[in-house]
Amino acid sequence: MGKIQNCFIENSDQFVDSLSKNLNHIVYMLNNRGAITENQKLSIHESPSPYSKIKKVFEYIEINDELEVFFNVLDKTENSGIAHYVRLAARYYFTSELLKSHSFEIGTDVVLSCKVSDDHGVKWFKSGIEISANKKYNVRNNGLVHQLIILNAQAEDAGDYLCECCYARSQCTLKAVIKVIEVLKDTEVEEGGQIHLTCKLNADVDITWGKNGQKLPRNMQTYFNKTVADNSFMYTLTIKNAKEENSGEYSFVYENLKTSCHVIVKEKPVDLLKARTTEILYEITDTKKELEKKQEEIEKKEENLAGMENEIRTKEIEIETKTIKLELKEKQIKQIEMQLESNEEKISELENEKFQINEYCSSLRQENEKTQTFTGKCQHSACRTRKIKSRKAKTSRQSYNVRTIH
């Protein structure tokens, strides 16, 4: 592909919109000046679309080496602005050394290189965003050869890259080669023990653990972990307190990468002490691996301690207030108990007094009965005395009357 055609491919919409309005006039003038032949003129007119017509114009101009005539024609039409783009494309374009799509090993330096026709600066882009030199990217040139060096390339560095020189462009696609460094291995564990599976990749990616073809969920028994060492990433699956139903085929999957193994959970042996020792060793190993996680959790919890301390102080004040109230209540209860004991003693004394009074009343009733009996006798005796006196008085009157008569 020629240099003018390359500019047309990258900016086809702009060229078609600008040139299609008076294309026939441009073709006529080029033919009159001998820039294109009569057969080429006829081929252009027979093209089915403005795009194909303008593309042929660019092709024939390059074939006949008539760029200057083309520029003069454009300057004398309404398309003088397009002449500027074409002149730049004629001067600045990529030579045979263009960007090439390829795959790269993670952790290596990736070099993208291209050569331009004239000493003109280029711009580098990744996914439409311009790249500037920094710790990640090294941008340099050696004469007309320009290079973009991606240092210690990782999975996230994969994507579309573009080198732009004026209106000429060269682009490529980079893909990261993600591979398994260490595969899963078959393992056997005893019931109550711990299943520990590891797989190592050369990249930090989102992977999936599976069992018997189904995605394995995270829960209180199952833990997923990832550690980094020497530019490799260790992915770990841990299952505590293994049971018979934990036996099966376990898989480690990322896109098209997959490694699997078989896990067998055996019955617990008779030697309980040895089994317990093994379990403790597994727990110690797991504890060491969980320390980092717990340390992070502790740091987060420490951030919440300040707020919790204020709440605790408030609670302590409430507790002190309630304690003081309880002490006062206890004192009141003791006073009430003492008062009750005093009342009980008084009640006992009153009961004694009541008993004595009852005794006294009983004796008074007896004396009253005796008095009534005595009174009755006295009344009877008085009655008899009155009768005797009445009789004596009567006898005296009779004697007096007798003496008088005599």
pLDDT in tens, 295-325: 888 888 888 888 888 888 888 898 988 889 8
Band (pLDDT 50/70/90 cuts) for residue 85 is low
Average pLDDT across the chain, whole number: 82
**Whether pLDDT at 211 is above 60:** yes
What is the pLDDT, as a whole number, of residue 9? 63
Kindly state the average pLDDT of the residues 52-69: 81
Give tens-digit pLDDT for 237-292: 999 999 999 999 999 998 888 999 999 999 876 555 666 677 777 778 778 888 88
Kindly state the average pLDDT of the residues 66-88: 72
Beta carbons of 147 and 140 less than 8 angstroms apart: yes
Kindly state the average pLDDT of the residues 117-140: 87
Long-range contacts for 179-186 (Cβ within 8 Å, ≥24 apart)?
179/257, 180/252, 180/257, 180/259, 181/232, 182/234, 183/259, 183/261, 184/250, 184/251, 184/252, 184/259, 184/260, 184/261, 185/261, 186/261, 186/262, 186/263, 186/264
How close are the terminal C-alpha atoms of the chain, in Å?
207
What is the pLDDT, as a whole number, of residue 388? 72
Asked whether the CA dihedral 128, 134, 137, 138 is positive or negative, the reply is: positive
**Whether pLDDT at 121 is above 80:** no
Amino acid residing at 60: Y
What is the pLDDT, as a whole number, of residue 312? 87
What is the pLDDT, as a whole number, of residue 231? 74
What is the pLDDT, as a whole number, of residue 96? 64
* Cα 61 to Cα 27: distance, rounded to the nearest angstrom: 11
Lay out the sheet containing 145-150: strands in order across: 110-115, 145-150, 137-142
What is the pLDDT, as a whole number, of residue 236? 94
Band (pLDDT 50/70/90 cuts) for residue 234 is very high
Band (pLDDT 50/70/90 cuts) for residue 1 is very low
Band (pLDDT 50/70/90 cuts) for residue 167 is low
Q: Is the pTM of this model over 0.85?
A: no
